[in-house]
Amino acid sequence: MREFLVAGNWKMNGSTAASEALISGIVAGVPAGSGFRLLVCPPFPYLASVASQVSGSAVALGAQNVSEHEFGAFTGETAPSMLRDVGCDYVIVGHSERRAIYGETSEQVAAKFMAAQAAGITPILCVGETLEEREAGTTNKVIDEQLDAVLDTAGAAVFAAAVIAYEPVWAIGTGLTATPEQAQEVHQHIRARLATGNADLAQKVQILYGGSMKGENAAGLLSMRDIDGGLIGGASLKASDFLAIAEAAAQS
């Protein structure tokens, strides 16, 4: 059985005081039960302080981005080993905002994925189509291209220590959510694609859904066979909203 992973992507929000309040609310409200794991991904400046607040709790720590380089003259970048050093177990790579706003290519995302793994960090590889791509009927093709950048360079085995997040770009921050059936269809496609490389492993990989997930729609999405959790933006910024999704995972 795959565990649920409920991951909060705080994006570029908060302050020292706000992040302390948010994480203490989350840590205090972790639902009872098993079969799920919580994760928060704060902005870089707050990683170390959030790390000390989640230490010993059931909440894991992740970052939102990482350099594909190990160290050196890369002004403004953060090395995978630095994330590990401050207590990150996960890092998001290839979020659609990184791809669209900062021009990250699938090849660069694959390099970040591998660099994170080499430092002992689990990458959360984001894939997803835009509205135009969905309407043009190219959703699966777009997802395949994003997945294959990793599969072709590193093989399916690397997904033994990775998470995938399916995030339809049209659903991110828009209030539009993929229906459970729409999401399931793509999740199933992703798992089938991985299975062509390693059928056993494909059954074990966690595939999260992201895009306007909230307490009200979480149970429906999490009830689908191939949906193993969520990558949550807006609803991860308030402890009670995030915990409502965690509760849905605990009940599923």
Residue nearer to ligand PGA on the CB measure, 38 or 231: 231
Inter-CA distances, 143 with 8, 88, 127, 227, 238, Å: 22, 27, 6, 16, 30
* Count of beta carbons in the 10 Å neighbourhood of residue 140: 16
Binding-site member from 205, 231, 248, 250 for ligand PGA (CB under 6 A): 231
Stretch 196-225 residues interacting with ligand PGA (CB under 6 A): 210-213
Stretch 158-177 residues interacting with ligand PGA (CB under 6 A): 167, 172-173
Q: 33: alpha, beta or left, given left = phi > 0 and alpha = psi -120 to 50?
A: left
Which string of DSSP letters, residue by residue, matches 144-157? HHHHHHHHHHH-GG
Hunting for tokens 């793509």 — which residue is that?
A: 186
> With binding defined as CB under 6 A, does residue 234 bind ligand PGA?
yes
Instruction: State the minimum distance, in angstroms, from the CB of residue 126 to ligand PGA.
Output: 7
Residue nearer to ligand PGA on the CB measure, 229 or 234: 234
Is 181 in the active site? no
Site string for ligand PGA, 131-160 (x = CB under 6 A): ------------------------------
> With binding defined as CB under 6 A, does residue 61 bind ligand PGA?
no
Hunting for tokens 């992507």 — which residue is that?
A: 9
Residue nearer to ligand PGA on the CB measure, 198 or 212: 212
Per DSSP, which regions of the chain are E strands?
Answer: 4-9, 36-41, 59-63, 90-93, 122-127, 163-166, 206-210, 229-232
Q: How far apart are the C-alpha atoms of 165 and 187, rounded to whole Å? A: 9
Instruction: State the minimum distance, in angstroms, from the CB of residue 243 to ligand PGA.
Output: 15
Binding-site member from 162, 233, 246, 247 for ligand PGA (CB under 6 A): 233
**Which member of 97, 104, 129, 167 is catalytic?**
167
Is 95 in the active site? yes
Instruction: State the minimum distance, in angstroms, from the CB of residue 176 to ligand PGA.
Output: 9
**Binding residue count for ligand PGA, defined by CB under 6 A:** 13
Residue nearer to ligand PGA on the CB measure, 172 or 244: 172
What count of residues does the chain have?
252
Q: What angle do CA 179, 180, 186 make, to 5 degrees?
A: 95
> With binding defined as CB under 6 A, does residue 66 bind ligand PGA?
no
Query: Which residues are within 8 A (CB) of 235 and not within 5 positions of it... i.e. 6 or more apart?
Result: 213, 214, 215, 241, 242, 244, 245
Site string for ligand PGA, 74-93 (x = CB under 6 A): --------------------
Query: Which residues are within 8 A (CB) of 4 and not within 5 positions of it... i.e. 6 or more apart?
Result: 35, 36, 37, 206, 222, 228, 229, 249, 252
By annotation, the residues acting in catalysis are 95, 167
Instruction: Using CB under 6 A, list all residues that contact ligand PGA.
Output: 9, 167, 172-173, 210-213, 231-235
